[in-house]
Structure 1
């Protein structure tokens, strides 16, 4: 049976003219390989609205796997996230000027959710293909973590059986002209997310990285 993977990427934020997350996932929209089809959707970098758009995309595509992606300027690797925490604590405003401080994402939700992607297998496969990768244990407290937590909360309340998680990616080279930060080319990021999508759809989550909530 063919499996569906939904990839999402944010629009630019924080003064950047591009967001490598959206630039990468839109290249993968419509691809099919190994009986796995990929769809991509653009997500606004806005607390609340980002998750609303994601939930509509899940309803539209009915995916088996959802991988949200976001920019993590300063990181040198592709970094699948292990955990989403139930807090919004913004150091800058989102794209609509909202800047929540120490606010719960879901009042009725657990403290955190594990990713239900096979994150270590994804990292291992990326490294095997010459792409720098490592597991991250913090998705931050900005819109990326907000979306990751809302995704996992949505899946926890759903009977779909879908699995999901979040992957952070570095800057593109053109974003670092005036920065002393690492970057990866768009072609490398696209290939990394292609590998992550196919790996996640082909393998269940290992018992050591199984999903669920943390009360």
Structure 2
């Protein structure tokens, strides 16, 4: 098992609204260049800013790659830090997507929980990043915004039983470059993978005991 590579999937979004360049996809492409080490197969994908496309694409990522972790990266025009989202929300989706579509009932999953938390302790990741001298400010949030970012996160959390993460990045140059955002994603994802690996080791130890 030790010599098997771990699959990690990271998505960014296409341009939308006034954002003719989406910093999330730029950052993900920079991360792809950097990689996550020799023991990780990193798969990246640009996701349309469309509710129905998200509902079609996210399940196929889980089926195709059987990833250890899926991380979605999105752009927040209001963000000035790299922001780790703790949870996804099921209801409140009233904003129209790039196709002018809005989901029936304004929700992700009929009858799904109101909110789903990631199994990853985002506060712990944030503290590690603050202590790492990364040079990029990292913060934590409980509200991914009730648009395609939140919708994607909830969908992924629902399918993965919490083995997903969502990271919001600010627009390019406000204040970070694409390269800086890519380096930040690399450090954050490596920390997330360490947290998951430690949790799995603890479970295996408990099973042996």
TM-score of the alignment, normalized to the shorter chain, above 0.5:
yes
Q: Where does residue 171 of structure 2 map in the other structure?
A: 171
1:1-215 alignment runs, 5 A limit: 1=2, 2-29=5-32, 31-33=35-37, 35-91=39-95, 93-100=96-103, 103-127=106-130, 128=132, 129-156=134-161, 163-173=163-173, 182-204=174-196
Q: Which one has a larger percent helix, Structure 1 or Structure 2? A: 2
Quote the Cα distance in structure 1 between the aligned partners of 2:48 and 2:119. Answer: 23
Quote the Cα distance in structure 2 between the aligned partners of 1:134 and 1:28. Answer: 19
Please provide the CA RMSD for this pair: 2.2
Structure 1: where are the runs of 5+ without partners? 157-161, 174-181, 208-215
Structure 2: where are the runs of 5+ without partners? 200-209
Question: Does the 8 Å contact 1:89/1:101 carry over to 2?
Answer: no
**1:33 match: secondary structure:** coil
Question: Does the 8 Å contact 1:4/1:64 carry over to 2?
Answer: yes
Normalising by structure 2, we get a TM-score of 0.83
Q: Deviations over 1:105-142 (max 9, x none)?
A: 11121111001223123212322222101111100110
Normalising by structure 1, we get a TM-score of 0.81
Quote the Cα distance in structure 1 between the aligned partners of 2:81 and 2:67. Answer: 26
